[in-house]
C-alpha cells in the first residue's frame, strides 16, 4: 500500500469528520471493541467506507474507525484490526495505524488479548508491554523504504515509550490494580502455540504470547509516533494452562474484564491525547 493510499485515507478521514488534526489513536483488540460504543459525540466510520482500508473478517472483531472528542483533543479509535494470520499483507496490517498517524495522531495505544507465560500473571490481568520478540519472521518494513514514512533502518530500543509506560502504571495503581510489565512474543498464528513453543518463548525472555500488535508497533515507531501497548491476559499459554485453549474462553475473559478495561481507558486516554505541542 503506497504512501499515496495512506495520504488519501487520511484525507478522507479529515473530510468525513471535519477534524483537521487527530491527536492519538487507540486500537482495540479481540473482545475489547465495545469500548468504542459509549464514547460521546463520536463519529463512526465503517472501515469499508475508507478508501484502501482493509476490512476484518474474524468473528468477535468489529470494523470501524471512531473519531471522538476528548479533553479538548481528538481521539481516533480502531475497533477491529486485520491480522497477518488471515493472509493480509503486512502493508494492510499496518494501514490503519499509518493512516491515523498521517491524520495527526502522535501517540498510539495498542491493546490485545494474549496468553500469559509469566507465572505471576493470571487471566484477567492487564500487562503493560515493555518490549517484544518478533518470532513471526515477518516485518512491515521489508521491501523498498518510503522515506516519507520513516528511516530504512529503524532503532527499536525505546519502541514502547517509557513515559507512557509510567503513565499506564500510575493509572493501574490509582485503580488498585496490579502493575505488571512484560515482553510480548509475536507468533504468526492462527494456531495457538505448542507447549514447546511456549517453553522456547519463556526461555527467550517472553512473558506473553500473541498474534498481533508487533507490526503496528514497528510501523508507528517508523513514523515517529510514541507507542504504548497493553495486553489483557485472557488465558494461560499452552502447556501452562491445564486445559486446551479456545477462542471462546479468550473472548469470555475479555468480556469478564470489560469493566476494568473501560476504567483504565477512561483514565489513560485523556493522558494519551494530551501530548506536548
Ligand atoms: N496465544 C496466542 N494468542 C493469543 C492467546 C494465546 O495463548 N490468547 C489470546 N491470544
Task: Spell out which residues line ligand 1, taking CB within 6 angstroms.
Answer: 113-115, 192-193, 209-211, 234-235, 237, 245, 250
CA–centroid distance, 184 to ligand 1, in Å, is: 11
Report the catalytic residues: 30, 61, 83, 85-86, 113, 211-212, 235, 247
Q: Which of 179, 173, 181 is CA-nearest to residue 267?
A: 173
Q: How far is the CA of 149 from the centre of ligand 1 (A)?
A: 31
- Is 233:168 a contact under the CB 8 Å cutoff? no
SS3 46: strand
Instruction: Report the first-to-last Cα separation within the chain, whole angstroms.
Output: 29
For the whole model, what pTM was predicted?
0.95
How close is the Cα of 209 to the center of ligand 1, in Å? 6
Q: Return all residues near 274 (Cβ < 8 A) that are at least 6 apart.
A: 71, 73
| β strands within the chain, DSSP E | 24-28, 43-46, 64-70, 73-79, 107-116, 126-134, 180-186, 208-210, 226-236
> What pLDDT is recorded for position 1?
63
Cross-strand bridge partners of residue 131: 183
Q: Residues in the chain with pLDDT < 70?
A: 1, 58-62, 275, 277
Question: How confident is the model at residue 34, as a pLDDT?
Answer: 80
3 state SS of 101: helix
Q: Closest residue (by CA) to atom 6 of ligand 1?
A: 115
Find the domain containing 168 and state its range.
3-273
The per-residue pLDDT for 277 is 61
The span from the CA of 121 to the CA of 114, in Å, is: 11
Query: Which atom of ligand 1 sits closest to the CA of residue 245?
Result: 7
pLDDT at 204: 98
Q: How many helices (H) and strands (E) does the chain have?
A: 8, 9
pLDDT at 261 (0 to 100): 92
Cα–Cα distance for residue pair 209/236, rounded to 1 Å:
9
46-86 pLDDT, tens digit each:
999 999 999 987 654 558 999 999 999 999 999 989 999 99
How far apart, in whole angstroms, are the C-alpha atoms of residue 28 and residue 109? 9
Assign residue 207 the CATH number of its domain.
3.40.50.1580
pLDDT at 58: 60
* Total domains, the chain: 1
Task: Give the position of cell 468504542.
Answer: 36
Amino acid at each position: 500500500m503506497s504512501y499515496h493510499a495512506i495520504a488519501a485515507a487520511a484525507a478522507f478521514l479529515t473530510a468525513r469528520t471535519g477534524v483537521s488534526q487527530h491527536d492519538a489513536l487507540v486500537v482495540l483488540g479481540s473482545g475489547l471493541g465495545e469500548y468504542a460504543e459509549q464514547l460521546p459525540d463520536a463519529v463512526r466510520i465503517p472501515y469499508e467506507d475508507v478508501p484502501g482500508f482493509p476490512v476484518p473478517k474474524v468473528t468477535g472483531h468489529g470494523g470501524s474507525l471512531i473519531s471522538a472528542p476528548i479533553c479538548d483533543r481528538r481521539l481516533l479509535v480502531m475497533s477491529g484490526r486485520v491480522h497477518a494470520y488471515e493472509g493480509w499483507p503486512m502493508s494492510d496490517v499496518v494501514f490503519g495505524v499509518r493512516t491515523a498517524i498521517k491524520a495527526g495522531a502522535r501517540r498510539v495505544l495498542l491493546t490485545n488479548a494474549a496468553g500469559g507465560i509469566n507465572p505471576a500473571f493470571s487471566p484477567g490481568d492487564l500487562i503493560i508491554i515493555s518490549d517484544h520478540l518478533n518470532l513471526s519472521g515477518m516485518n512491515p518494513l521489508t521491501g523498498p523504504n518510503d522515506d516519507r514514512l520513516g528511516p530504512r533502518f529503524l532503532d527499536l530500543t525505546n519502541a514502547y515509550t517509557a513515559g507512557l509506560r509510567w503513565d499506564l502504571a500510575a493509572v493501574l495503581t490509582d485503580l488498585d490494580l496490579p502493575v505488571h510489565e512484560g515482553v510480548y512474543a509475536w507468533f504468526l498464528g492462527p494456531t495457538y502455540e505448542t507447549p514447546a513453543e511456549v517453553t522456547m518463548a519463556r526461555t527467550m525472555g517472553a512473558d506473553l504470547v500473541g498474534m498481533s500488535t508487533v507490526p503496528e508497533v514497528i510501523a508507528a515507531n517508523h513514523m515517529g509516533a510514541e507507542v504504548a501497548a497493553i495486553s489483557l491476559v485472557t488465558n494461560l499459554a499452552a502447556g501452562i494452562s491445564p486445559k486446551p485453549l479456545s477462542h471462546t474462553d479468550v473472548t469470555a475473559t475479555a468480556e469478564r474484564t470489560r469493566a476494568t478495561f473501560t476504567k483504565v481507558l477512561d483514565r489513560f486516554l485523556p493522558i494519551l491525547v494530551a501530548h506536548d505541542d
